[in-house]
Amino acid sequence: MADSPTTSGHSEPLAVDISNDAVSERATWSGKLAFVLAGAASAVGLGNLWRYPSLAAKYGGGAFVLTYIILVLILGLTYMITEIGIGRRTKLSGISAFTRMAADTGHKGAGWKAVGLFEIIVPCIIGPYYCVIGGWILKYMVGYALGAADEIAGTSYFTSFITSDSEPVAWTLLFCGITMLVIILGVNQGIEKLNKYAMPALLVLAIAIAVYAIATLPDAGAGVAYFLIPKASDFSVMTVVAAAGQMFYSLSLAMGIMITYGSYMKRSEHLASSAGWICLFDTVIAVLAGLMVVPATYSFGGVEATKQAGAGLMFQTLPQVFDTMPLSSLVGFLYFALVFFAALTSSVSIIEAVVSGIDDASHVGRRKSVRIVGIALIVLALLPTLGYSVLSWVHFPIGSADMTILDFADFISNSVIMPALALVVSILVGWVIKPGYIVEEVEADGTRFALRKVYVFLLKFVVPILLGVVLVSSILNSVGVISI
């Protein structure tokens, strides 16, 4: 019942009507759980699985974890409520929501359009390269399913795969195809259904692998203690900066996603508690990912091996760790199945933000918008894929680094545009539109926003200051002036 599509405009959930472009009505989630699952599904992604554990290892283990949890409670939740509130109140995705908000509150000017434009630029940059990594994950998942744990643990396996001309292209296209299939099926029949199965599966797999890793690996206890017990001497300013930057990425903020997903939320649902559940779920999975990865890499190569971030950790170090475990192919397969679910539900959310944005801004209809985005995704995803083979001559010298196309796309979106955009949005909503716009939306279900004063204070003062610090430090870090 909850998923049944109707197009007659009554209170039942509306699946996006892709058969009738001109009059497609806005979809709504079938209920609070569907919304929370969708938000959590977007939030839980590579950010949790490969960035969080290595950042935690680098910035003091338990000290980082504690700082992160406090920041999520204070700042992540504040900004999450703001984005969902913008989406639900305007019933529009990021690109058009800001002009509507300005019109609602008597503001004018081209700046609002520009903010909307950046809300769609971020997912346009992240979506394609995320699908490239999604393709790598698929390749590993299939490889483990075929029992190739030994081969995958080989030192040159990853490099020879990504530098080959055609194989990565095929896997990238497959991942793009799966993502687009979910999008074509629509909000209720595609995204909701996927999340309903993928998210519980992901949670079970994360717990099972964490328990198995801790139980079977020698000296895993030392890694667990390092990860979970905060020590005062491990705190530093950089702990806060790194945790804040990671938090925005991990919660899928400043990507236009939560605005888009908020626009599908019914006004009768409790907005603030839904935002709270998404933050909680994302943080639990991040900590579980830490419990999966930190003790494993710690037992394998000490704290130094654990500090390695990104592709190296997931595609090189972890396969070597799995190879030392009993049932290595099964463990590897289950781990990459988990990563696959996490990556797919995130890539779906980011592509949905673009599809919905194009539809809102141009009124071409969802069906056409899906087609445009599908073709653009394939073309754009080929660039970072080929960046390791035929396009390997393209690189970007940033500071002391010489970045590939994929690294550059990641850098420009995560380290520059996203914190800058979040800073601008928090100032606009906090000081120009005024937080009352969001507070009213939070209370639209008839309940009182008990923490409204705290929310207003955090949005106006604390969020912009912290985002300013994150922005400056991540740029200084990238150009090599400081080292995060």
Residues within the interface to ligand PFF (CB under 6 A): 42-43, 45-48, 126-127, 130, 249-250, 252, 346-347, 349-350
- CA 94: distance to chain centroid? 16
- Minimum Å distance from CB 250 to ligand PFF? 4
Residue whose CB is less far from ligand PFF, 239 or 250: 250
Tokens coding 131: 């699908």
- CB neighbour class for 306 (10 Å; exposed up to 12, middle 13-18, buried from 19): buried
- Minimum Å distance from CB 52 to ligand PFF? 8
* CA-wise closest residue to 185 among 40, 34, 16: 16
* CA-wise closest residue to 158 among 134, 128, 130, 137: 137
- Minimum Å distance from CB 155 to ligand PFF? 27
3-state secondary structure 103-120: HHCCCCCCHHHHHHHHHH
- Minimum Å distance from CB 36 to ligand PFF? 15
* CA-wise closest residue to 341 among 45, 38, 35: 45
- Minimum Å distance from CB 42 to ligand PFF? 6
Residue whose CB is less far from ligand PFF, 132 or 149: 132
Is the separation of the CB atoms in 193 and 186 below 8 Å? no
Radius of gyration of the chain (CA): 22
Q: How far is CA 18 from CA 8, 11, 14, 68, in A?
A: 14, 19, 11, 41
Residue whose CB is less far from ligand PFF, 46 or 176: 46
Residue whose CB is less far from ligand PFF, 256 or 295: 256
Q: How far is CA 444 from CA 89, 332, 341, 429, 438, in A?
A: 9, 46, 33, 18, 10
Q: Which residues contact 344 (CB under 8 A, 6 or more apart)?
A: 134, 175, 178, 179, 182, 194, 198
The pair phi, psi for residue 164, each rounded to 5°, is: -75, 150
Burial code (b: 16+ CB inside 10 Å, e: under 16) for 268-302 equals: ebbbbebbbbbbebbbbbbbbbbbbbbbbbbbbee
Residue whose CB is less far from ligand PFF, 68 or 249: 249
Residue whose CB is less far from ligand PFF, 46 or 80: 46
Separation of alpha carbons 449 and 84, rounded Å: 15
- Minimum Å distance from CB 348 to ligand PFF? 8
Residue whose CB is less far from ligand PFF, 254 or 456: 254
Separation of alpha carbons 295 and 135, rounded Å: 27
Residue whose CB is less far from ligand PFF, 318 or 439: 318
- Minimum Å distance from CB 289 to ligand PFF? 10
- Minimum Å distance from CB 373 to ligand PFF? 13
Separation of alpha carbons 83 and 263, rounded Å: 10
Residue whose CB is less far from ligand PFF, 349 or 478: 349
- CA 142-144-147 angle, 5° bins: 115
- Minimum Å distance from CB 246 to ligand PFF? 9
Residue 402 parent element (H or E):
strand 401-403
Residue whose CB is less far from ligand PFF, 116 or 127: 127
Residue whose CB is less far from ligand PFF, 42 or 78: 42
- Minimum Å distance from CB 414 to ligand PFF? 9
- Minimum Å distance from CB 131 to ligand PFF? 8
Check residue 382 and report its DSSP letter.
Answer: H
